[in-house]
């Protein structure tokens, strides 16, 4: 549908990147709006030169330097006029073209080899190599690319072994208790007096704290600084409360924190 | 040793479960190295046949074998993906082509061919993709790094070796600008060739 079949023959000169490129033949007419688009499509001076050569269907091995240089310079001038950022490479190429053109004007020694002495040889070599790589790039781009055109297939593999459900683990409770005991020993002082310790009293104390805080971590119930005896009593109080289902002791999984909260229905 | 049908299923399971291509050596380990490479290749070829006509195909790449979706289904698969896959610019593709076909090359070599400065972003894009890396240094001033394509590059483009790259074209002395089908630009032949 974008093919220029409807256009008059004379207007169809070339296709630029898939779009029909309409020009007045023999002259360099560029629609002003199109210029920016066209110039941005070039990958550099070699690309622009190739375009000019191919558009005019010039013989790349026998480039007519005068018209090519003229057209190239007109493009470069147009780029400058539209304030497009002009890469230095374009100017270097312009200088090179002019140099080649002027060298061609010099009289040539009659016995000279036609191509080896040709000032255009190096330019032609570069143009051919660039064009080869440009085409190679296009073909490379046509290859199916992983992530763009194809995706690696990988089925889901269930790798995790059946997970054991968290259990009420007395071992953890004992471990937590041992830790507390240990810390209590570390901070133990020689106490001369002995506090009167009542399990029931501590049961109330625990319940009271739970009413304030709703949920407490197991360790928070204990104050190791107050000595081993106090810890023992508090533990007994907690266990007794649990036995009487006044509190709930929960642990979401192994080695997770143990939480203590008021049992449902406990409303004081 | 497992019978051929079973062996094929084992290969199938291993290949489907692996997100990366599996080499023949990997696949041999499935059978405790009791199956020869030739048998394995034969089984893999059969397995590929078994999958013919499905949306997924088994392909042989530089680093081994991989199951992948067929390209024709990509437009549909993409509809479910929020991110569009990368589309490389002409500059990136030309740089890649020069490295692929002319390796090992320095940045200077690439710039010579393209006639423009090769930006660091281009090289980084290709390096980050894992498609190129530096394989050495040229013993000239500055010891520039020599770039080459990687095995990942071959894998990702579905190639087994650089020899499978599209062959370089002989450049015509004169030709129409765009490689358009002859039916679209029939007047090309009628244009007088200047020069």
Q: pLDDT digit string (tens) for A41-59?
A: 788 899 989 988 888 888 8
At B70-114, the pLDDT tens digits run 999 988 988 888 777 778 899 999 999 999 998 899 999 999 999
Predicted ipTM beyond 0.85: no
End-of-domain residue from the set A142, A158, A184: A142
The verdict on A129 touching B (C-beta cutoff 8 Å) is: yes
- Alpha-carbon distance of A43 to A53, in angstroms, equals 15
Q: How far is A179 from chain B (nearest CA, A)?
A: 45
DSSP state of A248: E
What's the pLDDT score for residue B175? 55
At A215-256, the pLDDT tens digits run 888 888 888 888 888 888 888 888 888 888 888 888 888 888
Contact at CB, B177 and A43, closer than 8 angstroms: no
Strands A19-22 vs A12-16: parallel, antiparallel or unpaired: antiparallel
pLDDT class of A266 with cuts at 50, 70, 90: very low
Q: CA B100, B103, B104, B107 torsion: positive or negative?
A: negative
In a domain, A136, yes or no: yes
Is the pTM here over 0.90, yes or no? no
**Model confidence at B141: pLDDT above 50:** yes
A100-114, A163-177, A223-237, B54-68: range with highest mean pLDDT: B54-68
DSSP string of chain B?
A: ---HHHHHHHHHHHHHH-SS-B-HHHHHHHTTT-S-HHHHHHHHHHHHHHTTTSSEEEEEETTEEEEEE-GGGHHHHHHT-SSPPP---HHHHHHHHHHHHH-SB-HHHHHHHHSSPPPHHHHHHHHHTTSEEEEEE-SSTT-PEEEEE-HHHHHHTT-SSGGGSPPPPPPPSS--SS---TTT-GGGGGS----
- What torsion, rounded to 10 degrees, do the Cα atoms A54, A55, A59, A60 define? -40
Q: Number of structural domains, chain A?
A: 2
Whether A12 and A85 map to the same domain: the answer is: yes
> In this predicted structure, which of A73-82, A139-148, B144-153 has the lowest mean pLDDT?
A73-82
Please state, for a pLDDT cut of 70, what percent of chain B lies above it.
86
Contact at CB, A59 and B173, closer than 8 angstroms: yes
A232: closest CA among A222, A245, A241?
A222
B17 neighbourhood in chain A, CB within 8 Å: 154-155, 157
A154: closest CA among B20, B61, B27?
B20
Contact at CB, A137 and B90, closer than 8 angstroms: yes
**Model confidence at A107: pLDDT above 80:** no
A59 neighbourhood in chain B, CB within 8 Å: 173-174, 193-195
Q: Which residues are B132's β-sheet partners?
A: B149
Q: What is the 3-state secondary structure (H, E, C) of B87-116?
A: CCCHHHHHHHHHHHHHCCECHHHHHHHHCC
Q: Which residue has the tokens 């406990």?
A: A266
Whether A84 and A175 map to the same domain: the answer is: no
Sheet of strand A247-251, all strands in order from the earlier edge strand to the far edge:
A215-217, A258-262, A247-251
Between B70 and B183, whose confidence is greater? B70
pLDDT class of A161 with cuts at 50, 70, 90: low
Contact at CB, A148 and B74, closer than 8 angstroms: yes
A143: closest CA among B153, B22, B81?
B153
Mean pLDDT over A125-133 rounds to: 92
The pair of three-digit structure tokens given for residue B188, joined into one six-digit string: 């090309």
In a domain, A118, yes or no: yes
What's the pLDDT score for residue A219? 86
Whether A114 and A234 map to the same domain: the answer is: no
The verdict on A1 touching B (C-beta cutoff 8 Å) is: no
The verdict on A89 touching B (C-beta cutoff 8 Å) is: yes
Mean pLDDT over A124-141 rounds to: 93
- The number of beta carbons lying within 10 Å of the beta carbon of residue B120 is 10
Mean pLDDT over B124-150 rounds to: 91
- What torsion, rounded to 10 degrees, do the Cα atoms A206, A212, A218, A221 define? -50
What's the pLDDT score for residue A134? 93
At A177-203, the pLDDT tens digits run 788 778 777 765 555 444 556 777 778
B191 neighbourhood in chain A, CB within 8 Å: 57
Tell me the residue range of the domain where A27 lies: 4-142
B168 neighbourhood in chain A, CB within 8 Å: 132, 135-136
Between B187 and A55, whose confidence is greater? A55
Q: How far is A109 from chain B (nearest CA, A)?
A: 22
* Domains, chain B, with CATH or none: 4-73 (1.10.10.10), 90-164 (1.10.10.10)
What's the pLDDT score for residue B4? 86
- Alpha-carbon distance of A258 to A169, in angstroms, equals 10
C-alpha Rg value of chain B to the nearest Å = 22
Q: Which of B100, B117, B168 sits opposite A132 (nearest CB)?
A: B168
What's the pLDDT score for residue A24? 40
Q: Do A260 and A213 contact (CB within 8 A), yes or no?
A: no
Whether A26 and A94 map to the same domain: the answer is: yes
């Amino acid at each position: 549908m974008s093919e220029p079949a409807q256009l008059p023959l004379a207007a169809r000169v070339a296709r630029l990147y898939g779009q029909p490129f309409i020009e007045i033949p023999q002259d360099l007419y560029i629609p002003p709006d199109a210029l920016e688009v066209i110039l941005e499509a070039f990958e550099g001076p070699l690309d622009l030169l190739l375009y000019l050569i191919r558009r005019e269907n010039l013989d790349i091995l026998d480039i007519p330097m005068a018209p090519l240089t003229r057209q190239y310079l007109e493009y470069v001038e147009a780029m400058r006029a539209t304030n497009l950022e002009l890469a230095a490479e374009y100017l270097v190429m312009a200088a090179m073209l002019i140099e080649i053109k002027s060298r061609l004007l010099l009289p040539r020694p009659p016995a000279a080899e036609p191509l080896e002495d040709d000032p255009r040889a190096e330019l032609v070599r570069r143009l051919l190599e660039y064009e080869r790589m440009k085409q190679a790039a296009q073909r490379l781009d046509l290859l199916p690319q992983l992530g763009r055109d194809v995706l690696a297939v990988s089925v889901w593999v269930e790798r995790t072994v059946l997970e054991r459900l968290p259990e009420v683990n007395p071992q953890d409770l004992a471990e937590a208790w041992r830790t507390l005991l240990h810390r209590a020993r570390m901070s133990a002082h020689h106490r001369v007096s002995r506090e009167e310790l009542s399990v029931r009293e501590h049961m109330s104390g625990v319940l009271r704290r739970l009413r304030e805080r709703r949920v407490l971590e197991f360790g928070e119930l204990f104050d190791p600084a107050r000595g081993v005896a106090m810890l023992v009593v508090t533990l007994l109080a907690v266990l007794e409360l649990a036995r009487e289902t006044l509190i709930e002791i929960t642990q979401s999984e192994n080695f997770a924190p143990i939480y203590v909260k008021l049992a449902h229905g406990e409303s004081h | 040793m497992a019978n051929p049908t079973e062996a094929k299923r084992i290969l199938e399971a291993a290949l489907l479960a692996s997100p990366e291509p599996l080499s023949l050596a990997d696949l041999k380990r499935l059978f405790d190295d009791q199956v020869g490479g030739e048998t394995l290749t034969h089984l893999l070829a059969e397995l590929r046949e078994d999958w013919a006509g499905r949306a997924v195909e088994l392909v042989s790449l530089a680093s081994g074998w991989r199951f992948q979706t067929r390209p024709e289904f990509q437009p549909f698969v993409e509809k479910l993906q929020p991110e569009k896959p990368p589309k490389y610019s002409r500059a990136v593709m030309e740089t890649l082509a020069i490295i692929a076909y002319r390796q090992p090359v320095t940045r200077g070599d690439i710039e010579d061919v393209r006639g423009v400065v090769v930006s660091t972003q281009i090289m980084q894009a290709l390096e980050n993709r894992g498609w190129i890396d530096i394989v050495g240094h040229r013993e000239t001033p500055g010891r520039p790094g020599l770039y080459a394509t990687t095995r990942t590059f071959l894998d990702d483009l579905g190639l087994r070796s650089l020899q499978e790259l599209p062959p370089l074209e002989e450049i015509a002395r004169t030709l129409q600008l765009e490689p358009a089908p002859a039916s679209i630009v029939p007047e090309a032949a009628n244009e007088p060739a200047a020069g």
